[in-house]
Structure 1
Amino acid sequence: MIDQSVKMLPGIQIWLLLGLFLAWGRPGNAQNSVHLRINQLGYLASDVKEALVFSKQPFREKLQLRHAEDSSLVLEGKPLRVKTATWGSFDYYYSFDFSSVAKPGSYYLQTKTSGIKTIAFPVGPQAYAGKHETLLEFMRQQRCGYNPTLDMVCHEKDGRSFYGSMPDSTYLDLSGGWHDAGDQLKYLITGSYATAHLLMAFELYPDRFADAYNALGQPGSNGIPDVLDEAKWGLDWIHKMHPAPEVLFHQVADDRDHRGFKIPNQDNSDYGWGANSYRAAYAATGTPQGLGTYKSEATGLANLAGRSAAAMALAARIWEEHLQDSSYAAKCRKAALSLYALGRNQEGYQQGNSYGAPYRYNEETWADDMEWAAAEVYALTKEPAYLDQAKAYALQSSNQDAWTVRDTAAHYQLYPFINMGHYALHRHVDEDFKETLEGYYQEGIAYTLKRAAQNPFHIGVPFIWCSNNLLNSLVAQVILYEKMSGDDQFRPFLAAQRDWLFGRNPWGTSMFTGMPAAGEYPEDVHTSVYVMLGLEVPGGLVDGPIYRSIHDSLLGLTLNDPDEFAHLQNRHVVYQDDVGDYSTNEPTMDGTAGAILMMAHFGIPVK
């Protein structure tokens, strides 16, 4: 896709071209041009709206905001020099605030003299209307079992057990769930979080979700909001992964999956029973595991049991209160209590397993998950013991489990990337404890805000693997903090984090596939459906920028095409829209699910 910053208006005069040549170098040389960065998806009327301009030479033009319909002038002004450290090879950064523009409509920004302009973007309530439904479209693409996007059934033989009380290779039905990312593994680590997050998003914004698909993800209303259909896909799989009170499976398949791009129902991976057959299913034991070269670490299984219990308790309330389905509510209630008890009995964490490569989900936290579980189970049962336990877990977790107060972390070490337990518990405790919980969120926001003040994009996350997941979690934390405390001082910071995800970043690209359709977004994504079938499924959040020190050390990472963003990269952080870059351009299931709360928050009620 073409960098929007180098598009020129027709009819430009020869003297102007000469002036540009003298000021910035040869016209058309993207390395020396002026770059405009906005949130391509758009803005609400009340949003802080700040565009960014950067170049290698001083920028002396004015910027103009114009109506897209007729190009009439709305606002004109000189951008202000940004007084922070620069980003990479560009020395001059300027901000242009157009927050005063609140009238609904379609607009674009352009430089007054040279005519460099952005795409048209909306202002008003429709900017985010229904956009969370696009993310659900990507979630349906990730379904294992029946996949409605591909209209096929895959991995029907999942799986055969390893570790735990069952004899190795015992078959049990673990079909269903979601493929984790561009690969076809299934993890309870991410699946439990995605499920619980979808349910919490619905509980917070029940009027903003449509009903356009049935339970199988096929077009057609079934009387259930699509977000709950998707959450139930995850719930049903968690029920399978917890077939008995003392049994919990945590992973189906491993990196033996990584045998090139493949259609899901033609999986060439072989776990000992031939290609496209049974796959290994790992029981959570709270002990290190690994059938191949590499071993995971483990001290318990409360992280998995806690998140799963939180999801089940949320589901029990929602299916009872919103859907009047007492039978399914009772099933989820039973599972919630069983899973929570399992977590209490085996406190600690269980990590993901790898086989022939060193990469795995390195989660090392669990008190945050048990806090979330205890708070949700208390809301379900009203039994005081659960409230006492939730408060104890909250104090134990505090911010010790949070990446927001650290400068770096290992891959998924501090997962989930937001402690939902603090919010879930807040409504049930006294004023003093409420202030404690608010303080945990506020401390993390303040720490990331301090980091953001050091760069012109006002971005506050460390660029570890899956930095975009950190970003949407930080956005959610600011949203929930405001709901808890009533303190809205962080709204400008919130806007900057959100806007980064939709184009106000060095590369000028949205981080969601196909969003907006007329903008710059990840195209050459690391997924089989794109590589083999040419399908561009919108709504998937890619991993995002990563420290070059991490990126350049990863195994098997090679670009298929020249880096279209080469002129925008710096020495420290890299993002590449290339099929071969699994570290920055692979859409993730849990990252996409984790952005649905953010998108629903900025959306509007369904009529």
Structure 2
Amino acid sequence: MFTKLCILILFISGSFQNQEETDIQIRINQLGYLTEDSKVAIVFSKTPIRENFQLVNKETGKVSQEIKATPLKKNEWGGFKYSEVDFSQVKETGHFFIRGKKSGAESSVFRIGSDAFGNHQETLLEFMRQQRCGYNPTLDMVCHEKDGRTFYGPMPDSTYVDLSGGWHDAGDQLKYLITSSYATAHMLMAYEIYPDRFEDKVNALGQPWPNGIPDVLDEAKWGLDWIHKMHPAPDQLFHQVADDRDHRGFKIPNKDNADYGWGANQYRAAYFATGKPQGLMKYQSEATGVANLAGRSAAAMALAARIWEKDLKDPAFAEKCKRAAISLYQLGREKEGYQQGNSFGAPYRYNEETWADDMEWAAAELYKLTKENSYLEQAKTYALKTNTADSWTVRDSAAHYQLYPFINMGHYSLHEVADADFKKTLEGYYLEGIQYTLNRANKNPFHIGIPFIWCSNNLLTSLVTQVILYEKMTGDKQFEPFMAAQRDWLFGRNPWGTSMVTGIPEGGEYPVEVHTAPFVLLDMEVPGGLVDGPVFTSIYNNLLGLTLLKPDKFAAFQNEHVVYHDDVGDYSTNEPTMDGTAGSILMMTHFSR
């Protein structure tokens, strides 16, 4: 997914290019800006900035605008003095860079125009295909064909069940229904909202020839097929394949050296969702039910039933998904509560503690599928139960994946079919989270509204998505500058001047030394992977097993609040994740043209 750092880095990032000539740093969105976007660069230095900045057209060399830098009276991260350079009034299309009039400090080149964001939702899908388990088209190999043998199920332990397929979760090779159900449903919703913005370049196996189906649906079906396997009977649901016994160093998937009791590269543990605490060793998960998993999976199946019936004209698969949606939802009703991920020899797991949001989403999608009023009423009941209390957006911290998914998509889905009064209630839930994060953003120079807990980039893309959906629900565009600041952070308007997505933009500054086997063992670059992102310094200092393998190229820009390292040894900030990438697809599609 990434190539090694090379001489190009000396050329590609203007913010580092002039580092010896000036201590002024310029941070912009390296991809660029849509014509009507809020366009604000951040400039900083150890000393107060007393010069104007010029927006220069790269093609003509002419100055399009000269802008006075506005000092920011914010928390001075890292001891720097910060200013803003606002060029929002520029509507000219082209490639530009920002230059300090006195210092000569320059930003990297960026695009202004309706095509600034290209079609990078397709780039994210490229990374998703690289995460496939079973047949992996990027590596052209088949892996983990023997997944798996059961634990905690109604059948005897070690009974074989076919749970092959799905996606590897991150740089490791575990498979979770927790994350895969969300990834699948998110892609399907992105397609429903923007059906004309996806391409058809690969077939169902991810091989490079078209099959008449948008690639986002091919990828979603990879997830749907695995969810069907994880739900083999109306009253049965598996939730995880493999555990942290997987963590035996970097390895190519078809040569997995992990041993679950049947030898290396053999069967792997498959955990049945009981709704009760689980753990084969001393570390026990917490669990009160299965509705988080059943609800999200039901939402994905209901979305798929509509799409495969209406758009793909495949009534047989649509009916299969409809039956699964109904039985999964019923399972969630019978076992309300949450099932967490399982660990084996380490304390880390997915600590999800919410479930009403998932049942709201499922009920809303089932109402749209069946038109049965009972689903609509149940969706409203679950919405009132979840309100904003289950959202990280109104909290200052949370445990790892405690409040998952990081956006309640059920509010948007239900809003489409709710009465006028209830629409206002749902809009209020989104609005409360946006306003809370906006208040947090006003306290820092980069105007970022998230807490920097582990996987902060997932929170950031979810916040952008929440503003997008709020705009669609209400027509209220007052938060567009706030949304642009969150988005721009992801592509370079941050202390380190780096994109948080591998390979984007091409020729830009982006994660290279990523915590993945294809990079470490095969020197492969697979673009489109969203890395975990910066974490609070206090979190970083207390995680186990973190060792930087190379000198920190961003050392001058680390600060007392948050850290980020483009280093293989930092799994906390530089490991791309499957669900984080999938959860960015709606955002990327929205800005594409």
Same topology, TM > 0.5? yes
Could you report, residue by residue, the CA deviation over 1:439-470 in whole angstroms, capped at 9, with x for unpaired residues?
A: 00000000000000001100000000000000
Q: CA deviation at 1:290?
A: 0.5
1:346 equivalent to 2:338? Answer: no
96-105 or 261-270, which deviates more: 96-105
Secondary structure (helix, strand or coil) at the match of 2:431 reads helix
Secondary structure (helix, strand or coil) at the match of 1:488 reads coil
Q: Which residue of 1 aligns with 2:151?
A: 162
Cα distance in structure 1, aligned partners of 2:369 and 2:334: 21
Q: Which residue of 2 aligns with 1:7?
A: 17
1:450 equivalent to 2:439? Answer: yes
1:587 equivalent to 2:579? Answer: no
Cα distance in structure 2, aligned partners of 1:6 and 1:431: 52
Q: Which residue of 1 aligns with 2:129?
A: 140
Q: Which residue of 2 aligns with 1:283?
A: 272
1:151 equivalent to 2:108? Answer: no
Q: How does 1:515-554 map to 2 (within 5 A)?
A: 515-554=504-543
Cα distance in structure 2, aligned partners of 1:554 and 1:232: 36
Cα distance in structure 1, aligned partners of 2:108 and 2:74: 27
1:80 equivalent to 2:63? Answer: no
Alignment check: 8 A CA contact 1:6 1:116 kept: no
Match of 2:86 among 80, 97, 100: 97
Q: Structure 1 stretches of 5 or more lacking a match? A: 9-26
Q: CA deviation at 1:104?
A: 1.7
Secondary structure (helix, strand or coil) at the match of 1:277 reads coil
Q: Which residue of 1 aligns with 2:20?
A: 28
Aligned AA for 1:153?
V
Q: CA deviation at 1:103?
A: 2.0
Aligned AA for 2:368?
A
Q: CA deviation at 1:548?
A: 1.2
1:48 equivalent to 2:38? Answer: yes
Could you report, residue by residue, the CA deviation over 1:334-363 in whole angstroms, capped at 9, with x for unpaired residues?
A: 000010000000000000000000000000
Match of 2:59 among 46, 69, 85: 69
Match of 1:209 among 195, 198, 216: 198
Cα distance in structure 1, aligned partners of 2:395 and 2:412: 21
Q: Which residue of 2 aligns with 1:16?
A: none
Cα distance in structure 2, aligned partners of 1:331 and 1:124: 44
Q: CA deviation at 1:141?
A: 0.4
Match of 1:558 among 547, 556, 580: 547
Cα distance in structure 1, aligned partners of 2:43 and 2:440: 21
Q: Which residue of 1 aligns with 2:219?
A: 230
Q: Structure 2 stretches of 5 or more lacking a match? A: 1-8
Could you report, residue by residue, the CA deviation over 1:27-67 in whole angstroms, capped at 9, with x for unpaired residues?
A: 728xx711100000111001000001000011122211111
Secondary structure (helix, strand or coil) at the match of 1:251 reads strand
Q: CA deviation at 1:265?
A: 0.3
Alignment check: 8 A CA contact 2:67 2:87 kept: no
Q: How does 1:397-476 map to 2 (within 5 A)?
A: 397-476=386-465
Q: CA deviation at 1:129?
A: 2.2
Cα distance in structure 2, aligned partners of 1:399 and 1:554: 29
Cα distance in structure 2, aligned partners of 1:443 and 1:220: 45
Q: CA deviation at 1:230?
A: 0.2
Cα distance in structure 1, aligned partners of 2:281 and 2:140: 34
Aligned AA for 2:239?
H
Q: Which residue of 2 aligns with 1:19?
A: none
Q: Which residue of 1 aligns with 2:5?
A: none
Alignment check: 8 A CA contact 2:67 2:86 kept: no
Secondary structure (helix, strand or coil) at the match of 2:148 reads strand
Match of 2:240 among 241, 251, 258: 251
Identity of aligned residues (%): 71
Cα distance in structure 1, aligned partners of 2:61 and 2:106: 12
Cα distance in structure 1, aligned partners of 2:540 and 2:149: 34
Alignment check: 8 A CA contact 1:365 1:415 kept: yes
1:303 equivalent to 2:313? Answer: no
Alignment check: 8 A CA contact 1:6 1:33 kept: no
* Aligned residue-pair number: 583
4+ aligned runs moved over 4 Å, structure 1: none
Secondary structure (helix, strand or coil) at the match of 1:373 reads helix
Q: Which residue of 1 aligns with 2:312?
A: 323
Cα distance in structure 1, aligned partners of 2:148 and 2:16: 52
Could you report, residue by residue, the CA deviation over 1:72-100 in whole angstroms, capped at 9, with x for unpaired residues?
A: 2111122111122221221x111011111
1:603 equivalent to 2:592? Answer: yes
Aligned AA for 1:412?
Y
TM-score by length of 1: 0.95
Q: Which residue of 2 aligns with 1:17?
A: none
Match of 1:569 among 558, 571, 580: 558
Alignment check: 8 A CA contact 2:77 2:561 kept: no
Could you report, residue by residue, the CA deviation over 1:298-341 in whole angstroms, capped at 9, with x for unpaired residues?
A: 00000000000000000000001111110110000000001000
Alignment check: 8 A CA contact 2:231 2:238 kept: yes
Cα distance in structure 2, aligned partners of 1:537 and 1:104: 30
Cα distance in structure 2, aligned partners of 1:7 and 1:465: 31
TM-score by length of 2: 0.97
Alignment check: 8 A CA contact 2:298 2:328 kept: yes
Q: Which residue of 2 aligns with 1:60?
A: 50
Cα distance in structure 1, aligned partners of 2:446 and 2:258: 43
Q: Which residue of 1 aligns with 2:6?
A: none
Q: CA deviation at 1:126?
A: 1.1
Match of 2:257 among 268, 272, 291: 268
Cα distance in structure 2, aligned partners of 1:572 and 1:272: 43
Secondary structure (helix, strand or coil) at the match of 1:126 reads coil
Could you report, residue by residue, the CA deviation over 1:99-146 in whole angstroms, capped at 9, with x for unpaired residues?
A: 111122111111122222112111111111211100000000000000
Secondary structure (helix, strand or coil) at the match of 2:33 reads coil
Cα distance in structure 1, aligned partners of 2:508 and 2:26: 13
1:197 equivalent to 2:189? Answer: no
Secondary structure (helix, strand or coil) at the match of 1:127 reads coil
Aligned AA for 2:250?
F
Could you report, residue by residue, the CA deviation over 1:543-579 in whole angstroms, capped at 9, with x for unpaired residues?
A: 0000111111111110001111111011221110000
Aligned AA for 1:526?
H
